[in-house]
Structure 1
């Protein structure tokens, strides 16, 4: 194995969702292990403070040693960036990234590692301009 990809699903989703399932298949086909933590119990509270618990669950899912890539969609992308600042990782793969969550008081952070951003031009929940600004700041 080349390492492990931690695939984090979105807020109203689950570990068997279409996007993370497809990403797991691609990762495994490329020689990576994949782990899809389940955040549905945390998401059910709709409490913005669950963001921190979500990030901790992603970190707990990561193996103690070896290469790790944090990846996710929407809320899963949001917490993947934070997780990358607390555990060494090889890269980030972030889809539909919200660079801010209303009510969550921390500024968005992500490790300075190779990062792929996939985002829709007309995403109403996560405006693309904020993601472009985030990407511009990372060079």
Structure 2
């Protein structure tokens, strides 16, 4: 085993979402084990605007990292990217892969993450998170950044996201 990938979906998505599934396929092909925690029960609370379910997501991800017991790569989309970054500060994470990361979940909770190899995919036309904010965040960390002509869901760039993830994993 080369390592273990934990792939966190975004708000109102799921563990079988197209992007997360594409990343899981890449990880398996490259000899990594992976898992996709299910946060849909937390989405049902519809309390993300008040950060009500964020703490529960963070705790769930912490538990998955502890259970993994080996080298871990965290990946996430949107809210899944934010919790992956936040939790990476608490563990020895090998790398981060962030899609459409909310660099400011709100004014109180800016995105922070471990200084590990980081790759980001973000849409120029993201209607929720301005591309400029992500560029600035990535520049400060010297992260690999792929900006694509897409919206927040990155639906037209699933393959490009999977290729970027493969590149990150192959570089470890």
TM range (shorter): over 0.9
Residue 59 in structure 1 maps to residue 86 in structure 2: no
1:4 corresponds in structure 2 to 4
Residue 82 in structure 1 maps to residue 86 in structure 2: yes
Distance of 1:94 and 1:106 partners within structure 2: 17
TM-score by length of 1: 0.94
Deviation at 1:58, TM superposition (A): 1.2
1:26 corresponds in structure 2 to 26
| Consecutive unaligned residues in structure 1, runs of 5 or more | none
Deviation at 1:85, TM superposition (A): 0.6
Contact persistence 2:5–2:73 (CA under 8 A) = yes
Judge which range, 79-88 or 58-67, deviates more.
58-67
Corresponding pairs, count: 138
CA RMSD of aligned residues (A): 1.3
Structure with the bigger percentage of helix: 2
Deviation at 1:51, TM superposition (A): 1.0
| Consecutive unaligned residues in structure 2, runs of 5 or more | 143-172
1:121 corresponds in structure 2 to 124
Distance of 1:7 and 1:72 partners within structure 2: 5
TM-score by length of 2: 0.76
